[in-house]
């Protein structure tokens, strides 16, 4: 019996392969340069200055883990952590529900459904700072349309941006204006659900509610997973709308909207604590990574990838 010849791995490239490799690297060199200059180097530099006392000018002074130790005793840091988690844990689930509802509405068979889809998606393409300014006008405590509507239903007038009890709730409401973009992704998920599943369930006597929770939601779980991961990442990095709406000093009233990235920005560019801000950035990176890993780990228990 003749044994098979052992497989020999060829590590050396031929002349033609080296030429093709050089051409490929030449074509992607702008991306490689940009990736290194605008991503890899800033990551390395941020990590390095997180261990220094650095104001942004002069020479950084090495202080080791002092910046990270100072975070533990910083009350405003923990306020920012609480506000950010409060906002994220409230805005993300509501955003998922809103996106699913909008996707179901966009999936209806109507002659004008294309117009409705465009209207629903339109707020998502408005620049965030423009949306924040518009939102301030709509939710003005005395002249805003939103307050007039809730007062018409007999509810009390609310100072959304002047009352610490409602400031974060107002930001959660503002976040739902971007649900149209997520709704398009859920709409694609709805289009990918095999229709024979609904037909078989109708034959078995399943009603609308049972089909929704027994077929639609399980088949949309991969999209829900994607939306949760994206929503958490964006929620933990909320900045622009808070900076515009909270006014000066940022984070008001009474630090009720002092979000994590806003406090990091203030430390780096207003207080001259660039090393401290870099330490905050790496803590945020670690927390985001851990949360993403935990969600992916738990997804095997509730995400369904079957399409038959």
DSSP 194: -
pLDDT digits (tens, 9 = 90+) for 241-292: 999 888 778 888 889 999 999 999 999 999 999 999 999 999 999 999 999 9
In a domain, 197, yes or no: yes
With 80 as the cut, is the pLDDT of residue 99 above it? yes
In a domain, 45, yes or no: no
Q: How many CB atoms lie within 10 A of CB 152?
A: 8
Residue with tokens 């990270």: 68
**Angle in degrees, CA 278, 280, 281, rounded to 5:** 65
Is the CB of residue 120 less than 8 Å from the CB of residue 180? yes
With 70 as the cut, is the pLDDT of residue 2 above it? no
* Phi then psi dihedrals of residue 207, to 5 deg: -85, -175
Interatomic CA distance for residues 128 and 126, integer angstroms: 6
Is the CB of residue 139 less than 8 Å from the CB of residue 160? yes
In a domain, 70, yes or no: no
Average pLDDT over the chain, rounded to an integer:
89
Share of the chain above pLDDT 90, in %: 52
With 60 as the cut, is the pLDDT of residue 1 above it? no
With 50 as the cut, is the pLDDT of residue 240 above it? yes
With 70 as the cut, is the pLDDT of residue 103 above it? yes
Q: Give the mean model confidence (pLDDT) for residues 20-26.
A: 90
Q: For the chain, how long is the longest CA-to-CA vector?
A: 93
pLDDT digits (tens, 9 = 90+) for 146-192: 888 888 888 888 888 888 889 999 999 999 888 888 999 999 999 98
pLDDT: which is higher, 306 or 72: 72
CATH of the domain at 100: 1.10.3720.10
In a domain, 98, yes or no: yes
Q: pTM of this prediction? A: 0.87
* Packed helices 75-106 and 179-191: angle between N→C axes, nearest 10 degrees: 50
In a domain, 71, yes or no: no
pLDDT score at 8: 47
Tokens for 50, please give them: 């997180």
Interatomic CA distance for residues 130 and 122, integer angstroms: 13
DSSP 165: T
Share of the chain above pLDDT 70, in %: 96
With 50 as the cut, is the pLDDT of residue 119 above it? yes
With 70 as the cut, is the pLDDT of residue 13 above it? yes
Q: How many domains does the chain have?
A: 1
In a domain, 153, yes or no: yes
With 70 as the cut, is the pLDDT of residue 62 above it? yes
CA separation, residue 7 to residues 2, 68, 267 (Å): 15, 52, 59
Q: How many CB atoms lie within 10 A of CB 36?
A: 11
With 90 as the cut, is the pLDDT of residue 138 above it? no
Residue-range definition of the domain harbouring residue 111: 85-272+287-302
Tokens for 287, please give them: 């927390």
pLDDT score at 106: 87
In a domain, 107, yes or no: yes
In a domain, 25, yes or no: no
């Amino acid at each position: 019996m003749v044994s098979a010849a052992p497989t020999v791995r060829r590590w050396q490239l031929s002349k033609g392969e080296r030429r093709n490799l050089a051409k490929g690297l030449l074509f992607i060199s702008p991306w490689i340069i940009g990736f290194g200059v605008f991503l890899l180097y800033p990551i390395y530099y941020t990590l390095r200055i997180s261990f220094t006392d650095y104001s942004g000018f002069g020479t950084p002074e090495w202080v080791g883990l002092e910046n990270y130790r100072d975070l533990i005793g910083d009350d405003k840091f923990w306020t920012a952590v609480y506000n950010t988690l409060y906002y994220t844990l409230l805005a993300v689930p509501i955003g998922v529900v809103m996106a699913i509802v909008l996707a179901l509405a966009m999936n209806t068979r109507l002659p004008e459904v294309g117009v409705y889809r465009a209207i629903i998606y339109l707020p998502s393409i408005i620049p965030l700072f423009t949306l924040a300014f518009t939102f301030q006008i709509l939710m003005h405590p005395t002249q805003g349309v939103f307050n007039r509507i809730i007062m018409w239903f007999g509810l009390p007038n609310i100072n959304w941006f002047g009352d610490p009890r409602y400031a974060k709730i107002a930001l959660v409401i503002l976040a739902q204006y971007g649900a149209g973009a997520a709704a398009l992704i859920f709409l694609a998920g709805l289009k990918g659900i095999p229709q024979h599943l609904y037909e078989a369930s109708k034959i078995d006597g399943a009603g609308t509610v049972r089909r929704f929770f027994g077929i639609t939601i399980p088949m949309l779980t991969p999209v829900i997973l994607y939306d949760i991961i994206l929503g958490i990442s964006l929620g933990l990095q909320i900045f622009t709308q808070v900076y515009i709406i909270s006014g000066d000093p940022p984070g008001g009233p009474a630090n009720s909207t002092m979000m994590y990235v806003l406090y990091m920005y203030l430390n780096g560019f207003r207080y001259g604590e660039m090393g401290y801000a870099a330490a905050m950035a790496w803590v945020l990176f670690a927390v985001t990574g851990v949360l993403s890993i935990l969600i992916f780990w738990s997804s095997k228990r509730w995400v369904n990838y079957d399409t038959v």
